[in-house]
Amino acid sequence: MSIPATMRAWRVHEFGGPEVLRLDTAPVPSPGPGEVLVKVAAASINPIDWKMRSGHLRGIVQIALPRALGRDCAGTIVAVGEGVSDLAVGQTVAGLADPTRHGTHADYAVLPAAQVAPIPAGVAPEAAASLGVSGLSAYIPLVEDARLAAGQRVLIHAGAGGVGGLAIQIARHLGAEVLATCSAANRAFCIELGATRAIDYATEDFVAAAPDCDVVLDTIGGETHVRSHRALKPGGVLAALSAAPIPSTPSREDIRIVASRIQATRVRLEQLLEWAASGVIRSTVESRVPFERAPDAYRVSESGHARGKIILTLA
Ligand SMILES: NC(=O)c1ccc[n+]([C@@H]2O[C@H](COP(=O)([O-])OP(=O)(O)OC[C@H]3O[C@@H](n4cnc5c(N)ncnc54)[C@H](OP(=O)(O)O)[C@@H]3O)[C@@H](O)[C@H]2O)c1
């Protein structure tokens, strides 16, 4: 498979607003030991992308400039690094880049082989790409951290968002009763995905509407996080992603609060892709944006009101 010397990549040379995103011609990276080089077919936009672009995550993730953004993608392996024997050139895969290295909003991306899984038949590249950051961010808190079980009640904040839309479906598959917060405009979307009740966060008190929950998935932080303590029954679990800063507040002693750590592994990605192939998870891709128009996609994500997943499509 012939690999060009250069590629297109959305990079930042300095941190800042949408204007710092540049479509550069950059060298195609080479896979090192334990890595694969993927020709990207689709990549998703996640809030972490514009948080990295703006410099918000400088203290948390090492970001050397210039830097190609983007965390996840789906595509075809075009080269494998030393020691990679379980993946091969020509395989279609989905996976995540190392957050400290160049990302996936480019024609080619290097991914650690351990963070890559083959895409099963019947799953489109854009659907596979949409399961990366968001799928793991739904799966790890619900399945591994909270151990959500059949018959339990779960409240999912931002049910219409990238993480929430997948979380509703996973929770439903696990047999839980699913309640979700969203705006009035997204009620039908959340119900179609499997929520038994969609709570309008602008006009309803979710603590009153979703009492005695076994689990809350907090994708919002801030005051929503604090109020979520009261939606839990004794022994309940509040699984939180890094979102808005959480004000310090006395916690209840009879609930467990987990800051979920989102780490890609092949096993986790395989599970998500298998659910996509078997119809447990339907694609929540609501917006497809050609690669050349990536800044438009970043703007939609940064509005805080994207519905489902936004995908960059590459020729
Ligand atoms: N490693 C981690 O810890 C990790 C991983 C993944 C994500 N995150 C964080 O988790 C957050 C969510 O990620 P995402 O990908 O799901 O974002 P997203 O797709 O951009 O979420 C957008 C959704 O949030 C909803 N929303 C906004 N304010 C809300 C509120 N007060 N209550 C309920 N829903 C609200 C919007 O609904 P309406 O349009 O209906 O208002 C919209 O559907 C982000 O801050 C992200 O950075 C952290």
First to last CA, the chain: 17
- 33-to-83, 189, 248 alpha-carbon distances in Å: 6, 43, 43
177 is written with which tokens?
């009763």
Pocket (CB within 6 angstroms of ligand 1): 46-48, 133-134, 137, 157-158, 160-164, 181-183, 186, 201, 219-220, 224, 241-243, 262, 301, 304-307
pLDDT, tens digit, 9 for 90 and up, residues 77-118: 999 999 999 999 999 999 999 999 999 999 999 999 999 999
> Residue ranges of the alpha helices (H) in the chain?
47-54, 125-130, 133-139, 162-173, 187-193, 206-209, 222-228, 266-278, 294-302
Q: Supply the mean pLDDT for the chain.
A: 97
Residue 309, pLDDT > 90, answer yes
Q: Once rounded to an integer, what is the mean pLDDT over residues 218-230?
A: 97
152 is written with which tokens?
């339990």
Q: Where are the domains of the chain?
A: 6-132+264-313, 134-259
Residues constituting the chain: 315
CA 63 to chain CA mean position, Å: 19
Q: Distance, CA 220 to ligand 1 centroid (Å)?
A: 6
Among 223, 137, 148, smallest CA distance to 179 is for: 148
**Could you tell me which residues come within 8 angstroms of residue 289 by beta carbon, excluding any fewer than 6 positions away?**
45, 296, 297, 310, 311, 312, 313
Q: Distance, CA 50 to ligand 1 centroid (Å)?
A: 13
pTM here is 0.98
Among 156, 226, 152, smallest CA distance to 197 is for: 156
Q: Once rounded to an integer, what is the mean pLDDT over residues 44-61?
A: 94
**Residue of the CA atom closest to atom 1 of ligand 1:** 262
pLDDT, tens digit, 9 for 90 and up, residues 282-299: 999 999 999 999 999 999
Domain 6-132+264-313 bears CATH identifier 3.90.180.10: yes
**Could you tell me which residues come within 8 angstroms of residue 83 by beta carbon, excluding any fewer than 6 positions away?**
33, 34
CATH homologous superfamily for 134-259? NAD(P)-binding Rossmann-like Domain (3.40.50.720)
Residue 214, pLDDT > 90, answer yes
Residue 37, pLDDT > 90, answer yes
Residue 59: band (very low, low, confident or very high) from pLDDT cuts 50, 70, 90: confident
Burial class (CB in 10 A: 0-12, 13-18, 19+), 274: middle
Atom from ligand 1 closest to the CA of residue 48: 47
Among 90, 91, 82, 88, smallest CA distance to 118 is for: 91
Q: Once rounded to an integer, what is the mean pLDDT over residues 253-270?
A: 97
**Could you tell me which residues come within 8 angstroms of residue 296 by beta carbon, excluding any fewer than 6 positions away?**
289
Among 191, 132, 184, smallest CA distance to 163 is for: 132
Q: Which of 219, 225, 226, 260 to mutate to test the pocket of ligand 1 (most atoms within 8 A of CB)?
A: 219
Quick one: what percent of the chain has pLDDT higher than 90? Answer: 95
Per-residue pLDDT at 152: 98
